[in-house]
Structure 1
Amino acid sequence: MPPAAVRPPPIAILIAITAIGPLALNIFLPSLPGLVRVFHTDYGTAQLALTLYLVGIAFGQLIYGPLSDRFGRRPVLLAGLGVFVIGSLLAALAPSIGLLIGGRVVQALGGCAGMVLGRAIVRDVYERDKAASTLAYITMAMAVAPALAPAIGGFLDVWFGWQASFLFVLAFGAVVWVWCLASARETNFQRQPLPGLRGMAVGYGELLRSPVFLGYALNTAFTTAVFFAFLAGAPYIMIELLKRPASEYGALFILVSAGYALGNFIAARLAVKVGARRLVLAGSLVNLTGVLVMGGLGLAGEFSASSIFLPMCIVAAGNGLGMPNGIAAAISVNPRLAGSASGLLGFLQMSVGAVSTVAVGFLKGDDQMAMVAVMMVAVLLSLLAYGLAVSVRVRADGTVPAPGTTD
């Protein structure tokens, strides 16, 4: 149970720190196809700026969780934001694709601090169902940044070149760092010893042996992979195949983020009343519906921006509905390891998401069906993971969770 004396931080700070990583990811996407021409490379190499960003976020989250359990959320958050600013500067000044990718990795290692610690801070100060509701409001509000980011990035790319998006997020990161320095308070007063590599492995092993944690974490990871498969494929489809400008891709992405925000709004209103378990399942089924619609349109020969982005709005709504509840359920399994659980969850999300981007890049063809195939595999695996979380609970105690409970 969170200590009564812990004062919740301003929700605006939680939104800002959680938004930094997705902002840096999404604002860059409209520039991705153009890097092929700028650096005289191929699309697969340029796409490493996306894939290795996700890998950096994945591994960074394994570190921030235990560090924040030991030293507190505030100092670790400030250190991570500083690394993000440095990485953004390195990427903006990169003279080659290799150095750009390296800057993106540093940027990711810093940007993931807010993603991990935002979740852990919420868990520090709220009970599980209230945490799910709060996370939904945070992700609904922060969806504005990823919604606007591709549009901003597209126009910055057209007007000023690809470096402008990195300078934009550098400035944003610096402002948030100063804001946190002045306003962010510590929320972790139950410090755990720094485990070392062996201790970290023991802690992560303890979490992975929990079927409930593993089921919800993998459900969230594969749900994320559905979204990242779209992020990997849609810019190539829009800009290279459909010959649409980067600014149009950015503008259409606002619709996707609006769908995500709608799902978050529904989750925030229903999390306490309905329970995390039901909303995770509902979100996964909505995801499946959206992918089926996109695939059906593709099989019918529809190949246009609307046949891709409109079904993706359904998928995004499912993500927004299920993910806050899956996250809250996973990190509430062991409150003693809330930071580590948040980090491990983030690692699974980003590593599985990175695999989905590689798969889309490897399979890409002359329409949307390769992307749809990867999305379909991911959404089916998310449903299997949900089944693991629920069915193992039944075998463990011999009971079926009551309607509305949040096992």
Structure 2
Amino acid sequence: MTLSPPVAPSRPAREYRMKPRELLTLLSAIMALMALGIDLMLPAFDDIREAFDLGEGSPETGKVITVFFLGLAFAQVVWGPVADRFGRKPVLYISIGIYLVGAIGSALAPSFTLLLVSRFVWGLGAAGSRVVSTAIIRDRFEGLAMAKAMSQIMAVFMLVPVLAPSVGTGIIAVFPWRFVFWFCAVWGVLIALWSLRLRESLAVEDQRPLSFGESWTGYAEVARTRVTAGYTMASIFLQGVFTTYLASSELIISEVFDREAQFPIIFGLIAVLFAGGALVNGRVVARFGVHGLISKVYFITVGLTIISVIVSVMADGHPSFWIYIPLLGLTLSSFMFLMPNLNTAALDPVGHIAGTASAFGGAARMGGGAVLGTIVSAQVSDSTTPFAIGVAILCTLSWVSVLVVRRRSPGLSL
């Protein structure tokens, strides 16, 4: 995919070795560290069940995803203040090192418990890359330019789920299933080498002291900022849906619809809708504005989830594949009009502490989303109804969070 550079950065200031096109491509690749840590191993779930005697169709494999998200959530509250103190590049290199430890540990894990521990460590490392990429965007762009840059990165980022399951299936067809973890480790090394061209985006005068008091003050400021806190809450509920989908998609497609062999293709096609949504969002956000577009899309998203519940209940949990999966794909693709814009709107008022704010939002989203996703995905077995109801409830709560922000904060400018 070719990236067009967004509007010129509103921050003058520094010479950057990279052109905007290369910068956005690198940031997408950095974000892909997280996506690969999730999507590449989904085709290996059956092998994981067999290797660790979890039982056929066991939902325990969903924990491989949720503990990764918990690691993402836990570490971001640390990486954010560190990135605001020492800069973006040191955090990127250290976090990639931890990422490699987690990936290699997962590849060598002799038990399911140690696999989960390694996955948690893996998430700790992936958290740093996420904080850094988001903070660099906030360093370089503002307002609608930031929204466009975020959308372009998300579009490329969402291509990973298109390719990853097929790549994972190909790896497993040729090598033992643990090689999917080694692939991620190699990707991390390549990103570290490419990042040598990246210049530090945090100016010396913008560095913040690193102490518990300063960190607490920064997080308290973010939490007290009504728009930031409200849109972060909305993102938590959407992340809960996304986590549920990642943890349950293999089970639903394989067990409910009996299409195990087609799973990588189906998963990839849904991800194509994700990427398409992100690309379209980058083009229309300037027309409607960030807050205006968010409000319009929620109406469609919640409507689709209600239709999905009706379709599922009427079919006693076994709806037509050709009706339910397109509905699911459209629902999830609408998230690409919501997540980047919610993130932009949440960061905009707190740009002076972008690393801390990014960490706050990321930790809340990943942690809250992991908990909500674990609760909902645990109910999924041989029926789509629990999944559909859980998705509808979470999307509705997300919309309510946005409505509360809009009511209490009139005159939002983005």
Q: Distance in 2 between matches of 1:229 and 1:46?
A: 12
Change (3 A) 1:149 1:285: farther
1:78 positional shift: 1.3
Query: Match of 2:348?
Result: 332
Greater Cα shift, 132-141 or 232-241: 232-241
Query: Match of 1:130?
Result: 145
Matched, 1:384 2:404: no
Change (3 A) 1:270 1:88: same
Q: Distance in 2 between matches of 1:310 and 1:287?
A: 13
1:249 positional shift: 1.2
Q: Which amino acid aligns with 1:113?
A: G
The answer (yes or no) to whether the contact 2:87–2:207 under 8 Å persists in 1 is: no
Matched, 1:5 2:18: no
Q: Distance in 2 between matches of 1:7 and 1:280?
A: 34
Query: Match of 1:112?
Result: 127
Matched, 1:260 2:274: yes
Query: Match of 1:397?
Result: none
Which residue, out of 202, 216, 224, partners 1:188? 202
1:205 positional shift: 1.5
Which residue, out of 238, 241, 249, partners 1:223? 238
The answer (yes or no) to whether the contact 2:270–2:329 under 8 Å persists in 1 is: yes
| Structure 2 gap ranges (5+) | 1-8
Change (3 A) 1:44 1:254: closer
The answer (yes or no) to whether the contact 1:258–1:313 under 8 Å persists in 2 is: no
Q: Distance in 1 between matches of 2:101 and 2:207?
A: 29
The answer (yes or no) to whether the contact 2:244–2:377 under 8 Å persists in 1 is: no
Q: Distance in 2 between matches of 1:102 and 1:13?
A: 29
1:35-74 residue CA offsets vs partner (Å, 9 max, x unmatched):
2221013635432211110000111111111111100011
1:123-168 residue CA offsets vs partner (Å, 9 max, x unmatched):
1011121100110011112211122112222333344332121111
Q: Distance in 2 between matches of 1:164 and 1:294?
A: 37
Q: Distance in 1 between matches of 2:172 and 2:311?
A: 31
Query: Match of 1:178?
Result: 193
The answer (yes or no) to whether the contact 2:40–2:165 under 8 Å persists in 1 is: yes
Q: Distance in 2 between matches of 1:146 and 1:197?
A: 38
Matched, 1:16 2:29: yes
Change (3 A) 1:288 1:151: farther
Matched, 1:200 2:208: no
Query: Match of 1:41?
Result: 54
Q: Distance in 1 between matches of 2:323 and 2:281?
A: 26
Q: Which amino acid aligns with 2:51?
A: V
SS of the residue aligned with 2:287?
helix
Greater Cα shift, 183-192 or 340-349: 183-192
The answer (yes or no) to whether the contact 2:79–2:359 under 8 Å persists in 1 is: yes
Change (3 A) 1:45 1:253: closer
- Same amino acid, percent of matched pairs: 26
Matched, 1:371 2:387: yes
TM norm structure 2: 0.90
1:210-359 equivalence runs, <5 A = 210-245=225-260, 247-301=261-315, 302-359=318-375
1:359 positional shift: 1.2
SS of the residue aligned with 2:206?
coil
TM norm structure 1: 0.92
| Structure 1 gap ranges (5+) | 395-399
Query: Match of 1:157?
Result: 172
Q: Distance in 2 between matches of 1:31 and 1:358?
A: 19
1:255-293 residue CA offsets vs partner (Å, 9 max, x unmatched):
211111121112111223321101222332332233223
Q: Distance in 1 between matches of 2:49 and 2:319?
A: 24
The answer (yes or no) to whether the contact 1:31–1:162 under 8 Å persists in 2 is: yes
Aligned length: 396
1:177 positional shift: 0.9
Q: Which amino acid aligns with 1:256?
A: I
Matched, 1:27 2:43: no
Q: Distance in 1 between matches of 2:199 and 2:325?
A: 40
Q: Distance in 2 between matches of 1:94 and 1:123?
A: 38
1:224 positional shift: 1.9
Greater Cα shift, 84-93 or 351-360: 351-360
1:304 positional shift: 4.8
SS of the residue aligned with 2:338?
helix
The answer (yes or no) to whether the contact 1:57–1:108 under 8 Å persists in 2 is: yes
Q: Which amino acid aligns with 2:227?
A: V
1:373 positional shift: 1.6
